Chains A and B, each alone.
Chain A
Amino acid sequence: MRTIVIASAALLLTARAAFAAGTPVVPAFVEETKDSGIGSVYTGEWQYMVGGGAAAFDCNGDGFGDVLIAGGGMPATFYVNKSVKGGQLKFAKQQSGLEFDAMTGAYPLDIDGDGIMDVVVLRVGENIVMRGKGDCRFTRANEAWGFAGGDGWSTAYAATWEQGNQWPTIAIGNYIDRTQELEPWGSCTPNVMQRPRPGGRGFAAPIELKPSHCPLSMLFTDWNNSGTPDLRMANDREYYEGGQEQLWQMRPGQPPRLYTKADGWAYLRIWGMGIAGYDLDGDGFQEYAITSMADNKLQTLKEPPQDGSPPRPTYKDVAWPKGVTAHRPFTGGDLKPSTAWHTDFQDVNNDGLADLFIAKGNVSEMPDFAMKDPNNLLVQGKDGKFIEMADKAGVASTGTSRGAALADFNLDGLIDMLVVNRNAPAQIWRNVTQGAGNWIEVKLREPGGNVNAIGAMVEVKTELGRQTREVVSGGGHVSGQSGWVHFGIGGARTAQVRVRWPGGDWSKPYAVNANQFAIFDRTAETATAWQPPR
């Protein structure tokens, strides 16, 4: 054991009592949009029917997640987090240099590894990488870093550090050719990937990832525990011809290669719109939630190997038996099929079981789909099945939702929720769940370019069992976050935390006491306790 972080005995006892019952604690949220200072609207015409993302990240070093919200046809808005620990959610609008128009979404990524967060801005038009200057100020870096902004309709992003590189590889997903008024269908424009410039900082020339099938989400993820993430894409069947869902094999120095039927990749054609991964069954392989319309998928390996051999990328859909099809509104009078966008696994009641959030909203006055389409908060029970609790939790908004960020905005150990709506103000809720379990939140640091250890696996063991979460940059729906990685640990008083650092093996376990923030440095022998400054 390397470090013991001190915990509060009173909180531990409360949580242990609450989790004796064995039924999921109903999460509770209070909407604080009106007084939060958040007032951003994602709006615009046809080319903003998709998109509507948010990025949550700490850009001033206070540990609180600041927020950038895309505005579509209007300028994006940046908000600095003024909340205090456990208090109401408070944000202040602040000029940051990120206030671009035509923004569909954004992802935080410390591209140059200087410890100051940068931002990748996705737009209808030129994409822009913005270098963080500190204190939440940003400056354009396309030219300095060789980033090819293009002139597409960008709707997906993912980043990874390939083995041995000090600079990230960034993939950008592009939607249809927006100039094609008469024949937009089948006009998916090329997705692109930029690897590091050989031997140096900055990006090499982009390569096209063809065939391109109009992704609305992409994610570098180590689906097979090989230590090398591959690139998963959720593609919108509305626009591709001859397309399907895709998984690109990534090998250092090699061109990306599509997994094929011969590899075991199963043919799936859906309105792919969002991706989130989490190892729900503890078998060491992640499950993937893929959002769509009228149906959502929860994919698990069809034949997970039992003998340590590498798996084949053949997935089966377990959304129905797990209770996460979320195919139509679960409340209200509108029973038409749903339209699902951002999705994320987070443990909102700290019971040690990841829950699933899905943002819902009609594309644009499509009368065959629900217009009043409540967002889902599917809370996982001990049997591995999910129970809809968005209404009970107070987050069943029927706004036309798109992107979202589920993060602990007031650093009280409970996951809060920011949701971006189309043609209506974004909404933010504070998690005030009574009887929630204990928690830990961790940050990773490592030397070199990948300072936030994108691609690491964090394993948390408690008396409840094992949880594993991959540190990623991508996925969801044009929304990304960087910062504290949150785990609920139920009534446990302590957790054993291991990290599989990018390109490395599993670390020895660190002991972290409940209800603490801890920073793990790859080069350090100990984890460092951290406390919110206010």
Chain B
Amino acid sequence: MMMTRRSALKGVAAAALSGLTGGPARAGDAAAGGGILRQWYKVVLMLVRHTATYSPPVASRAFAYLGVAAYQAVASGSTSLVPLAGQLNGLKALPPRDPLKRYSDAVIAHCVMASAVKTFFGNTGPTGQRVMAAAEKKLKGDALKGLPDDVIGASLAYGETLKAAIVDWSKDDGGAVIENMGFPMEYPVSKEPGRWNPTSPIRMQQFPLLPTWGLNRTFAMPSGTSCGLPPPPAYSEDPNSAFMRQAREVHEVTAHLTPEQIAIARFWSDDPMLSFTPPGHWIAIAHDLLADKNAGLDETAEVMMRLGVAMADGFIGCWNAKFRYDYVRPVTVIRKLIDAKWEPLLITPPFPEYPSGHSTESGAAAAVLTSIYGDNFAFTDSTHARDGLGERTFESFNAAAGEAGISRLYGGIHFRPAIEQGLAQGRCIAQFAIGLRTRRPA
């Protein structure tokens, strides 16, 4: 991804950490650590795509915990970074470093990522297992290069301790166990008009994905209801109703899609198991941004932490609303009331419509990145280049989020209110992640 920086970094101090408590042991530890951490994120993005339980909400959860782990790897030895204990729900004080030992932030970051990735993606397939082992071997070699044994030993041990504490914290959040790829074995599907009905011929998708995800423990925001939404248009078959107007809009827009609109829909489709998912798409954007500026370890960790927390909270809030309103998908309405043979461009996701998950995620992600890098940060997004979907250039993160939102209308899987309210919900939820205190006053 080509990145053009147009605004000064806000909130992230210039990389200045020594990386070692008790004195530096290697010049450039922070710079090396930033690269190593980003390489781990590349591995994680691949694992998200290729691990069957990693639907978008599950992916967002992993990004949050991994982001917090990486951030704490640095903050635990920093005089300028503020630990997150007490700021994130359920996160008590994390194990401190031993003041008598010397550490490398880069080694700790590597170790905590290697170990946490093995935990969060322990259920991946044989190829993923092989990749994790190969990545650990390679990146460990990179991280340990030139360091004395005492630093290596202390750093690896602390990384394992920190990872264990993060994993312990994660266990009771409600999202730790995913069965049947997230689809319940039983679920009372409503028969009321205007409610969600299955839209897929796939048997396991006759019940909606992760119906209790909205009840999970949130990270930075108080609860899944913290950024509630107004109800969507009430079901009505009156041609003049708001309900029918939104349905007709989807039908009409999708009947006359331009090549550009089709490209937009496909670019932001971000299907699970065929892409990094919506939160992974934004992690990829951040990854490339950070790589482009060769960001150090503290900046990389902080950006990934805020982004992960915001998007994990975003999906909890979004899912809370989805299952509160249990709203019908366009394909159900349009085929019943407008055009029996209508086919949306994208595959309709197997869960309620309102609000749009990608919109909530994108609203949250764009708000976080805007808070750090400003509102006029132009960038080129090449997340899907290897999938043959090309690159897209945006004037700002908000412009990208807006396109991600409207892509769901072009794809025929959301009505406009779900997009607009989803983006607004995401922006609201992001404020909790943006509000996390990470920098000590100078």
A-to-B contact residues, CB < 8 Å: 46, 49, 181-186, 237-239, 241-242, 269, 293-295, 317, 319-320, 325, 327-328, 335-337, 363-369
Residues of A within 8 A of B387 (CB): 241-242
Decide: B389 and A368 in contact? CB cutoff 8 A: no
Q: How far is the CA of A49 from the CA of B125 in the complex (A)?
A: 10
Which of B29-37, B73-81, B102-110, B130-138 forms contacts with chain A? B130-138
B53 at the binding interface (Cβ < 8 Å): yes
A-B contact pairs, 16 of them (CB 8 A): A46-B126, A46-B130, A182-B135, A185-B50, A237-B273, A237-B274, A238-B125, A239-B127, A241-B386, A242-B387, A295-B203, A328-B204, A336-B180, A337-B52, A337-B181, A364-B126
Decide: A327 and B204 in contact? CB cutoff 8 A: yes
* Shortest distance from the beta carbon of B265 to any chain A beta carbon, whole Å: 13
**0 or 1 for each of B175-206: is its CB under 8 Å from A? (1 = yes):** 00011110001000000000000000111100
Apart from A337-B52, A364-B126: 20 A-B pairs, beta carbons within 8 A: A46-B127, A49-B126, A181-B131, A182-B43, A184-B131, A185-B49, A237-B273, A238-B50, A269-B271, A295-B203, A295-B204, A317-B201, A320-B201, A337-B204, A363-B125, A365-B126, A366-B123, A367-B123, A368-B52, A368-B178
B144 at the binding interface (Cβ < 8 Å): no
Supposing A182-B135, A242-B388 touch, asked if A366 and B126 sit within 8 A by C-beta, the answer is yes
Q: How far is the CA of A241 from the CA of B388 in the complex (A)?
A: 8
* Shortest distance from the beta carbon of B211 to any chain A beta carbon, whole Å: 18
Q: How far is the CA of A241 from the CA of B49 in the complex (A)?
A: 11
Residues 32 to 67 of chain B near chain A (Cβ within 8 Å): 43, 46, 49-50, 52-53
* Shortest distance from the beta carbon of A294 to any chain B beta carbon, whole Å: 6
Supposing A242-B388, A319-B201, A336-B180 touch, asked if A183 and B130 sit within 8 A by C-beta, the answer is no
Decide: B203 and A185 in contact? CB cutoff 8 A: no
Decide: A368 and B53 in contact? CB cutoff 8 A: yes
B-to-A contact residues, CB < 8 Å: 43, 46, 49-50, 52-53, 122-127, 130-131, 134-135, 138, 178-181, 185, 201-204, 271, 273-274, 386-389
Q: How far is the CA of A182 from the CA of B45 in the complex (A)?
A: 13
Q: Which of B43, B125, B134, B178 has a CB less than 8 Å from the CB of A364?
A: B125
Supposing A320-B201, A320-B203, A366-B126 touch, asked if A182 and B52 sit within 8 A by C-beta, the answer is no
Residues of B within 8 A of A317 (CB): 201
Closest to B206 in A: A320
Q: How far is the CA of A327 from the CA of B180 in the complex (A)?
A: 11
Q: How far is the CA of A327 from the CA of B181 in the complex (A)?
A: 12
Closest to B122 in A: A367
Q: Which of A181, A237, A369 has a CB less than 8 Å from the CB of B130?
A: A181
Q: Is the interface of A mostly helix, strand, loop or mixed?
A: loop
Decide: B125 and A337 in contact? CB cutoff 8 A: no
Residues of A within 8 A of B180 (CB): 335-337
Residues of B within 8 A of A49 (CB): 126-127
Residues of B within 8 A of A184 (CB): 127, 130-131
* Shortest distance from the beta carbon of B278 to any chain A beta carbon, whole Å: 17
Q: Which of B123, B135, B179, B386 has a CB less than 8 Å from the CB of A186?
A: B386
Q: How far is the CA of A319 from the CA of B180 in the complex (A)?
A: 20
Q: How far is the CA of A269 from the CA of B178 in the complex (A)?
A: 23
Decide: A369 and B52 in contact? CB cutoff 8 A: yes
Closest to B387 in A: A242
Residues of B within 8 A of A369 (CB): 52
* Shortest distance from the beta carbon of A160 to any chain B beta carbon, whole Å: 29
Q: How far is the CA of A183 from the CA of B131 in the complex (A)?
A: 7
Decide: A185 and B181 in contact? CB cutoff 8 A: no
Decide: A269 and B130 in contact? CB cutoff 8 A: no
Supposing A317-B201, A368-B52 touch, asked if A335 and B388 sit within 8 A by C-beta, the answer is no
Residues of A within 8 A of B185 (CB): 335
Decide: B52 and A293 in contact? CB cutoff 8 A: yes
Closest to B134 in A: A181
Decide: B123 and A368 in contact? CB cutoff 8 A: yes
Q: How far is the CA of A295 from the CA of B347 in the complex (A)?
A: 16
Residues of B within 8 A of A186 (CB): 386
Q: Which interface residue of A239, A317, A363, A368 has the most chain B CB atoms within 10 A?
A: A368
Q: How far is the CA of A237 from the CA of B275 in the complex (A)?
A: 11
Supposing A46-B126, A328-B204, A363-B126 touch, asked if A368 and B386 sit within 8 A by C-beta, the answer is no
Q: How far is the CA of A364 from the CA of B126 in the complex (A)?
A: 6
Q: How far is the CA of A242 from the CA of B185 in the complex (A)?
A: 32
* Shortest distance from the beta carbon of A326 to any chain B beta carbon, whole Å: 9
* Shortest distance from the beta carbon of B315 to any chain A beta carbon, whole Å: 20
Q: How far is the CA of A167 from the CA of B424 in the complex (A)?
A: 65
* Shortest distance from the beta carbon of B36 to any chain A beta carbon, whole Å: 14
* Shortest distance from the beta carbon of A155 to any chain B beta carbon, whole Å: 14
Q: How far is the CA of A327 from the CA of B126 in the complex (A)?
A: 21
Residues of A within 8 A of B43 (CB): 182
Q: Which of B49, B125, B138, B273 has a CB less than 8 Å from the CB of A182?
A: B138
Residues of A within 8 A of B271 (CB): 269
Decide: B46 and A183 in contact? CB cutoff 8 A: yes
Residues of B within 8 A of A237 (CB): 273-274
* Shortest distance from the beta carbon of A267 to any chain B beta carbon, whole Å: 9
Q: Which interface residue of B43, B49, B130, B271 has the most chain A CB atoms within 10 A?
A: B130
Q: How far is the CA of A367 from the CA of B52 in the complex (A)?
A: 10
Q: How far is the CA of A185 from the CA of B138 in the complex (A)?
A: 18
Decide: B53 and A185 in contact? CB cutoff 8 A: no
Q: Which interface residue of B125, B138, B386 has the most chain A CB atoms within 10 A?
A: B125
Q: How far is the CA of A325 from the CA of B200 in the complex (A)?
A: 13
Q: Which interface residue of A182, A293, A328 has the most chain B CB atoms within 10 A?
A: A182
